[in-house]
Amino acid sequence: MPNTGKFFSDLETGMKTIGISRQAMVAALVGVAMVGSFSLAPQVFSPEAGAQPIQIEAPLGAPLSFADLIEQVEPAVVSVNVTTEREVGRLADMQQFFEQFRGMPGLDEFMEQRRQEEEEEPETQEGRSLGSGFFISKNGYIVTNNHVVDGATAIQVVLQDGRELDAELVGKDAQTDLAVLRVTEEGEYPFVNFGDSHTMRKGDWVVALGNPFGLGGTATAGILSADGREIGPDSPYTDFLQIDASINRGNSGGPTFDLNGNVIGVNTAIFSPTGGSVGIGFAIPAELADEVTKALIKDGKVSRGWLGVAIQDLTEDMAEAQGIKDAKGAIIADVTSGSPAEKGGLERGDIILSVNGDKVTDATSTTRLVGKLIANTANRFEIIRGGKKQTINVTVGERPSSPNANITPSSSSPSDDAVEDGQVVSEVGGTFEQMDDELRERLGLKAGENGLVITKVSKDGVLEEAGFQAGMVILEVNNKPATSVDALRKAISDAKRANRTKVLVAVRIGQITNYRTIDLSDAE
């Protein structure tokens, strides 16, 4: 049998002889990731007396040309060149190459030997990325995206006149994908002002400038396509502007202007199945960018308000179960022990209607309003509790880096602990027994808290239709503790007498609580 381990070693040696590196063979197949961190002491931003941002008088109607606008604002726009460094695995880079030899004798031994070598002598690789940015002050502060500079070991900006200047990171905020830089060379720089995206209407002209694909000094024009866009769970505090002015890779961090030369958005993402522009781009609204960048310049970070609650959208079914006509709001599903919410008096089952007078429409809008609050300040929360409106003052804390770290899912499925003992409630198609101390402790509940364990769910019953399973624990029924099976039956009877077809239930699954409704329309 041939020595196949030697074959792979010879193959590797031959590749080196003809000047082909492992990285070169797979460079077209893998991308360079940016990791690590880089930070400097934050500097306080003080607007210079008499300094004026670039301002333009907008033409009436559709402009014949955007040239005058672009000519005046372009000096404030820069290209951002970033150097990063990361550990790389040579074996991972060669994985696809060796895949064609999978199954040949000796391959596994060869790969294992190389894997051990990598653990002993890890390699690092330098990476580079390109983005855009713009000056917001005369003394050299620049706004860009967090993802442009994340993991940077060196940052350089290129001005319109071709000058290349070193820049330092002042602060960054991953939640809004914003970062602030400052050029290290003293001088006076042309800068632009943040405008107000709320003054823009769908269909208004916008102009985007930036550094797509490293080309630099590129301008595109289009209209505001939409506002208030949500583009993913990683951006819970941002309602994005959608624009159809072409933006591509490298435009990240660049400005989108209105016709007055005000920045109404910071370009941050595109929607594309191909990786290139298909006419759908997203920008961070100017008023949010202005607020975040001021905090970054002042403190080097953004301190967000934190309540310490788990919330859900208040659905129409949940509102109906409580006799509430307006279904706009967020219901508190759980309150973290020792949190600002608990100290302020908020409770599970409270429905949040507004924060400091600003109406909430769902869980997302509530999260954003709370996130905008200044940590350690008192704020007014209008709520509904037990069918009655009231106002509670809560001093919000500073959001921790991992606010849900103490919440862990159950290690077993609900049915693992289920037994079929207990009392049958035929109206909902389920069998229940009271929760014991051992289960209460395992679910992370307070000592003495009441609950009914579902031990059996009847086929085609209303519990099954609502998604309940054996092993789940019902904590509340229509905002009252589920102290017993009789209490459950009474809540069902009360709902029927009030001509309501829905019952609101707080259910514990592992260490997570959420609200669901049981539809009594088809109950016996």
Query: What is the per-residue pLDDT across 326-353, written as a single tens digit (0 to 9) for each?
Result: 778 999 999 998 999 999 999 999 999 9
Whether 147 has a binding-site annotation, put simply, is: yes
With beta carbons less than 8 A apart as the criterion, state whether 430 and 415 touch. no
Which H/E stretch holds residue 126? strand 123-135
The pair of structure tokens assigned to 523 is 């109950």
The model carries a pTM of 0.62
Q: Cα–Cα distance between 43 and 37 in angstroms, integer?
A: 18
Q: Give me 503's structure tokens.
A: 């019952």
Q: What is the pLDDT at residue 244?
A: 85
Tokens of residue 397, six digits = 């804390």
- Contact criterion met (CB below 8 Å) for 207 and 244: no
pLDDT digit string, tens, across residues 235-274: 556 678 898 888 777 889 999 999 999 999 999 876 655 5
Phi, psi of 511 (to 5 degrees): -110, 25
CATH top-level class for 414-519? mainly beta
Domain 305-398, CATH number (from 3.30.420.40, 2.120.10.30, 2.40.440.10, 2.30.42.10): 2.30.42.10
**Dihedral sign (CA 7, 13, 17, 21):** positive
DSSP character for 281? E
Residue 479 labelled as part of a binding site: no
251 carries a ligand binding annotation? yes
252 is in an annotated binding site: yes
Give residue 127's identity as a one-letter amino acid code.
G
More confident residue, 273 or 519: 519
Mean pLDDT across the stretch 444-458? 87
Check residue 423 and give its pLDDT: 85
Rounded distance, CA 293 to CA 237, Å? 14
Helices within 18-89 (DSSP H only)? 22-26, 67-73
Q: Where are the domains of the chain?
A: 305-398, 414-519
Indicate if 414-519 has the same CATH topology as 305-398: yes
Which residues does the annotation mark as catalytic? 147, 177, 252
Residue type, 353: L
Task: Give per-residue pLDDT as tens, 109-135.
Answer: 666 776 666 665 666 677 788 899 999
Tokens matching residue 170: 């002042």
DSSP state of 362: S
487 with 429: CB under 8 angstroms?
A: no
> Residue 449: its pLDDT value, please?
85
Radius of gyration over alpha carbons of the chain, in Å? 29
